[in-house]
Structure 1
């Protein structure tokens, strides 16, 4: 029991650094959780920006109609970088580009394909596309049926038809699907808080027991090195499981989801990621020599993998080369599974195949970390034996 008490005292002494990940995760989690309380009862307009190269009556009619249905946001800077930033920071949700030949093609009765850009995983694209298509299809229908009418009269008829309003309500399952997607984003945050807390716990315990004076003292104790190592492994694993349970309970409390099939998949995914975290922590902390390395791993690898892996910044916004690099971290596959669960409507064989494949990669990471750790420890033990012989 003395070893376990020592582990507990070490953790208490370092509670400030161990709680940092929990605090940061809690703040971000409550920010995401606000989206769970928004009930989608009525269809509201989107925030759109229009980049038009046309200047005609038809174009003006479309823009006016869009302005009635949605909120038009005018951006001072329309460079590609600023447009991407506006989408990312939710200044706008939909960017529509109207080409120079828009009115000319529509006047000839031809369909026009407009270029648009939206935030990923939002309803804005379908919403605004429907508005644009309603205008163009109504105008083209009147133009085809009344070829003798002037453009002015066609626009007047189009606007009169479109002025009839109705009320649209979401399907009863829409809000549940929205909650499911947001829940996936919240589970993603485990990649930072849980990873940081478990790794830091392993690090402070190993550094404390690997100090030279402590190692010498333990070598003189009646407890064998193997038995002490087993107690340390059990103690750190118990701490890790405690962290996993606490973090999981916190996320389930915030999302307020009952335990069903969806939550079951989230839990299984977090368990596979937990195995990868423990494997990584054991591998790295067994080689650490000073406390400065803890902050380095937390800030560079753990936080960095969260940024490139789709936890803090959705992978849709990141270049392909970044996603390819992120694929070499377990965080990326954990986030991919959460995204898959969050957007899945039918949990069929196709979903199961993808989920099991990505979960298998997480478990492969865990196995690889353990193999590397065992090889390293064997080499280290062999080197120590040779030095003692000399």
Structure 2
């Protein structure tokens, strides 16, 4: 019991650094949780930006119609970076590009393909696409049926037809899918809060017991080094399991989750990530020599993997090369599984195959970290034995 008490005292002494990840995660979580209660009761327009290279009567009527159905946002800077920032920071939800030959193709009765960019996992794309298609299809239909009419007449008829209002009801799965998607984003935050808390705990305990004066005193202890190491490992594992349960309970409470299939998959994914986190923490802290390394790992690897892995910034906004680099971290696969669960309504075999693959990659990371740890410990033991004989 003395060893476990010592571990508890070490963790208490380091509670400031251990709670840092919890606090940051908690603040961001409450921000996301606000979206869970925003159940829209009616269909509202999206915030759209229009980048037009055409200047014709058809284009003006088209843009005017879009402005009545949605909110048009004017962007002064239309550089690629500014457009990406506008989408990410929710200044706009949909960016529509109107080509130079827009009116020319419509005048010939040809279909026009308009390029667009949207925020990931939002209803805006379907909403605006429906509006765009309604206008273009209506105009082309009148043009086909009344080829003798002037463009002005066709525009008036199109405007008159589309001015009639109707009632739109949400699909029964809309709010459920929206809640699942936000819930997946909240579970993603465990990649920072839980990872940082567990790793920092392992580091604090191992650094304390690996200090030279402590090791010398323990060498005189009646408890063998192997038995002491086992107790330290058990103590660290108990602390880690406590963190896992605490974080899971917090997320389930915040998301108002129930004991259903969705929560079960989220929990299974978290457990798979937890195993990878434990293996990584054991591998790194077993060879760690100073406290500065803890800060370095927290700020560079853990936080860095969250940024490139799709936790803080959705992977859809990141360049392809960044996603390829992120694939070499367990955080990326954890976030991929949460995104998969968040957008799935039908948990069929196709979903299960993807889920098991992502979970398998997480367990593969855990196995790789453990193998590296065992090799490192063997080399370290051989070096210590050689040094003792010398």
Mapped partners of 2:116, 2:87: distance in 1: 12
Count, aligned residues: 390
For 2:180, the equivalent position in structure 1 comes to: 180
- 3-state secondary structure, aligned to 2:100: coil
User: Do 1:305 and 1:326's aligned partners in 2 also have CA atoms closer than 8 Å?
Assistant: yes
Q: What are the superposed Cα offsets for residues 111-165 of structure 1, whole Å, 9 maximum, x if unpaired?
A: 1111111111111111111111111111111111112211111111111110001
- 1:86-101 alignment runs, 5 A limit: 86-101=86-101
Secondary structure of residue in 2 paired with 1:51: strand
**Equivalent residue, structure 1, for 2:229:** 229
Contact 1:283 1:372 in 2 (8 A): yes
Residues 213-232 of structure 1, C-alpha deviations (whole Å, 9 max, x = no match): 11111100111111101110
| Matched position secondary structure for 2:149 | coil
Between the aligned partners of 2:221 and 2:102, the Cα distance in structure 1 is 86
Question: How far did 1:172 drift?
Answer: 2.0
Which residue pairs with 2:77 in the alignment?
77
SS of residue in 2 equivalent to 1:236: helix
Distance in 1 (alpha carbons) for counterparts of 2:374 and 2:96: 56
Q: What's 1:132 paired with?
A: 132
CA offset at residue 182 of structure 1? Answer: 0.6
Structure 1 equivalent of residue 18 of structure 2: 18
Alignment of 1:1-390 (within 5 A): 1-390=1-390
Preserved contact between residue 48 and residue 95 of structure 1 (Cα < 8 Å): yes
- How far does the alpha carbon of each residue in 1:244-283 deviate from its partner, in whole angstroms, 9 at most, with x for none? 0000000000000111111101000000000000000000
- 1:199 Cα shift? 0.2
Whole-angstrom distance in 2 between the partners of 1:97 and 1:363: 44
> In structure 2, what is the Cα distance between the partners aligned to 1:332 and 1:99?
37
Aligned 8 A contact 1:40 1:170 in 2: no
SS across alignment from 1:19: helix
Cα deviation digits, residues 20-52 of structure 1 (max 9, x gap): 000000000001101100002211100011111
CA contact (8 A) 1:50 1:96 kept: yes
**Matched residues in 2 for 1:133 and 1:387: separation?**
77
- Aligned partners of 1:333 and 1:359 also within 8 Å: yes
Partners of 1:368 and 1:80 lie apart in 2 by 39
Distance in 1, Cα, partners of 2:41 & 2:264? 28
Q: RMSD over aligned Cα, in angstroms?
A: 0.8
* Structure 1 gap segments, 5+ residues each: none
Distance 1:194 1:272 in 2: 13
What is the TM-score when the length of structure 2 is the normalising length? 0.99
Where does structure 1 differ by over 3 angstroms across 4 or more consecutive aligned residues? none
- Larger deviation, residues 136-145 vs 8-17: 136-145
- The offset of 1:167, in angstroms, is 2.1
Q: Distance in 1 between matches of 2:25 and 2:378?
A: 37
SS in structure 1 of the partner of residue 95 of structure 2: strand
CA–CA separation in structure 1 for the residues paired with 2:145 and 2:386:
95
TM normalised by structure 1 equals 0.99
Superposed displacement of residue 169, structure 1: 1.6
CA distance in 1: counterparts of 2:96 and 2:361, whole angstroms: 39
